[in-house]
Homo-oligomer: A and B are copies of this chain.
């Protein structure tokens, strides 16, 4: 079994901690370990370092290798440019097949939080069992905790099999991020999972699905496969990748594929998409403050304080997100951290590259 960790994200929503050169998964914002370090550690009982592949951009490779010294450098696959998840996954599958093994791949984002790791691994193993016995594309679903509109929804059909505590269903339909009303209907109705962006399948299975659904990408991957291990590899991957269409595996493959299964999982998942989400999933003191770093509060409540080095004192405030780095300080009303994107846009417009 292989693990493929997709580490192409930018995570600009975690500014000022996240920067162009230091995206979210390379940061220790969830715990003392960086998020990619947690992601790799979490699957270690299932997959050894030699079979853990990480797909990332060139500018982040050095930091990744520094943070994950046990991963063989040849397992860091460079995407010359970001082309969304379908090319990324196709590239990883091509590498795995080239190594002579039609292994099951666990495809995992690099930057999610998993609260219950033993259950998470049970789910992955159940998925891997199902994937290895045929040509199914298995998605890891998340049992919805509310009618969120920020995720895709997977509608389950008949029960396919049972593995320990985990139930595997055929997928009836995959829905893009729905409007509020529809999300509420899905949530009330039951039988829907959130699309976590985690998948399990054999390398040959996903490549066959790519061949059917994204033939241009498949042709590119064949050319890449021929160049792998030769002195033309970097040049060929660079040329082919530049010409690829940017498309997600969900839209490009999963929504059109036939033999798709889902395991609804319940393991304390969060994609931790913003400082607000971080406050929600973080441990809090009795006043509701989630604190990293030295802190003193006087009548201060329900706030996130992220300042690894500096003493932060809050007096008479609540519902704030306070994030401090060596060169920038963010103070944001809780509930409005999506607007951090506007900060990035403003800084770009003003040419303040030093803060990006």
Contact = CB atoms under 8 A, between A and B. Distances in A.
Interface of A: 16, 296, 298-299, 307, 310-317, 320, 322, 324, 326-333, 335-337, 339-340, 342-343, 346-347, 352, 355
A313 B333 contact: no
A315 B339 contact: yes
Nearest to A355: B311
Name the prevailing secondary structure of the A interface residues.
Answer: mixed
Nearest to A333: B316
Contacts of A314: 331-332
Q: Give the top 8 A-B pairs by smallest Cβ distance, nearest first.
A: A316-B333, A315-B332, A316-B336, A311-B328, A312-B329, A313-B330, A315-B339, A314-B331
A331 B320 contact: yes
A274 to B, nearest CB: 12
A124 to B, nearest CB: 38
A236 B300 CA distance: 50
A313 B298 contact: no
Output the residue of A311, A327, A346 with the most chain B CB within 10 A. Answer: A311
B296 A343 contact: yes
Given A316-B336, A339-B316, A346 B311 contact: no
12 contacts: A16-B311, A312-B331, A313-B329, A313-B343, A314-B332, A315-B330, A315-B333, A315-B336, A316-B333, A317-B320, A317-B333, A324-B324
Nearest to A307: B329
A355 B311 CA distance: 9
A340 B1 CA distance: 58
A202 to B, nearest CB: 46
Given A296-B343, A339-B298, A346-B296, A329 B310 contact: yes
A64 to B, nearest CB: 27
A333 B320 CA distance: 11
Contacts of A307: 329
Contacts of A328: 310-313
Contact of A322 (B329, B333, B335): B329
Output the residue of A299, A314, A316, A327 with the most chain B CB within 10 A. Answer: A316
Output the residue of A16, A328, A329, A332 with the most chain B CB within 10 A. Answer: A329
A127 to B, nearest CB: 40
Given A296-B346, A296-B347, A343-B296, A332 B317 contact: yes
A313 B296 contact: no
A146 to B, nearest CB: 23
Given A343-B296, A343-B298, A346-B296, A16 B313 contact: yes
Contacts of A332: 313-317
